[in-house]
A = this chain, B = another copy of it.
Amino acid sequence: MRSSGDLGLHSLDDAERAAAAALPPEVRDFVAGGSGRETTLDANRAAFDALFVVPRVLRDVSGCTTATTLLGRPAALPVAAAPVAYQRLVHPEGELAAVRAAAAAGVPFTASTLSSVPLDALTAVGGTVWFQLYWLRDERRTVELVRRAEDTGCAALMLTVDVPWMARRLRDVRNGFALPDGVRAAEVDTGGAAHHRAAGASSVAAHTGQAFSSGLTWASVERLRALTRLPLVLKGVLAPEDARRAAEFGVDALVVSNHGGRQLDGAVPSIDALPAVADAAGPACEVLLDSGVRSGTDVLRALALGASGVLVGRPLVWGLAAAGEDGVRRVLDLLGGELRDALGLAGCHDPSDARGLRTVSRQQPHRPAPERGLSNASA
């Protein structure tokens, strides 16, 4: 019983299943995997599931809206597309399909330094595009990337600060994962390293080890701040001390993130780290969050704990893998619908009302969440 408009996808978990069916195993693994024992990957979900919200009642929510601003610009949802490398791995149109869907849905799209579609093609679509910056060993190239982001009309610069190098992701290592010939980073010269298939090694990790700087410091942030007038976002902050310092350095926003469980295995779940970071960042520095958001309720949880929005990565990739632009749009529509539901049912008229909702922590016994909604449909 599938209607044409909804693609048979009724939750983000559905999109995950659809993507898993559509993708070759090693690509599915590249998307799904975390680092090491995947402790943090799992904990990201466990931490959301353990967080309960105390809703308010008898507030007029007839005009309830998900509309908000992100980095000073209007957004239809407090949600942006997270930077995800090499999206042509999962669909021939890659980032182009994704940015079209994001623009149509009214949410910012973050283009990765490792975008497999050129940046100008993405900004040409007309929505809000942020540029995610990896600080390259070749600093001249780094500066060129900043200029390129400015020239193509990107609305913000998001510096990733949690990747001095790529962590060991066992699934890729076991699969000897390498990029297929047809997929390459459009903005940086990969030199072929990311395509070199080797047993027991991830070529993507090898490439980033060659290309990225592991010497990034606060001085780099200062330099970047001086280099551009674009709003500056640091992605990958989990410690309140670092949030405080970011605010001192005039950073416009932070993304509380453990890189979706893909960098330090054993890093704190980002939703657990959020309250202290939001408190330390202070009013002048906006706080976003990613790593584990899978529903509108998750967005509400993040808003309640002090975020002004979230980034969503894997779910959009699932949509992309499942049905290209339509799939990404469907995922964003589902998320928007769920969030409006969550806001209204919690007594919030808009996203800003959610800050300060009481929350209660209660560790849940494990259950395989994605299977639940299907138990009866399949009966």
Q: Tell me the A residues contacting B by CB distance below 8 Å.
A: 1-3, 5-6, 8, 10-11, 13, 25-26, 28-29, 32-33, 35-40, 42-43, 46-47, 49-62, 64, 161-162, 164-165, 167-168, 170-171, 173-176, 198-201, 213-218, 220-221, 234, 236-239, 241-242, 245, 258, 263-269, 272-273, 294-297, 300-301, 337-338, 341-342, 344-346, 358, 360, 362-367, 369, 372-374, 376-377, 379
Whether A239 lies near B170 (C-beta < 8 A) is: no
Given A58-B245, A266-B342, A267-B346, 6 new contacts (CB under 8 A): A2-B200, A10-B170, A46-B364, A58-B234, A362-B363, A365-B366
Contacts A39-B364, A366-B367 given; does A214 touch B1 at CB 8 Å:
no
Q: A11-B170, A58-B221, A337-B168 are in contact. Are A295 and B373 (CB under 8 A)?
A: no
Q: Is the CB of B376 within 8 A of A175?
A: yes
Cβ-defined contact, A1 with B60, below 8 A: no
* CB pair B272 A238 closer than 8 Å: no
Q: Give the distance to chain B from A232, nearest Cβ to Cβ, in Å.
A: 13
CB distance from A237 to the nearest CB of B (A): 6
CB distance from A73 to the nearest CB of B (A): 26
Q: Is the Cβ of A265 less than 8 Å from the Cβ of B167?
A: no
- State the CA gap A346–B32 with chains docked (Å): 22
What is the count of identical protomers in the complex?
4
- Shortest C-beta distance, A289 to chain B (Å), equals 15
Take A171-B373, A272-B362, A376-B28 as given contacts and tell me if A54 and B2 are in contact as well, using a CB distance cutoff of 8 Å: no
Give the CA-CA distance A33 to B379 in the complex, in Å: 14
- Closest chain-B Cβ to A241's Cβ sits at a distance in Å of 7
Given contacts A10-B174, A297-B36, A300-B266, contact A239 B162 (CB under 8 A): no
Check A215–B62 contact: CB distance below 8 A.
yes
Docked complex Cα distance between A38 and B60 (Å) = 26
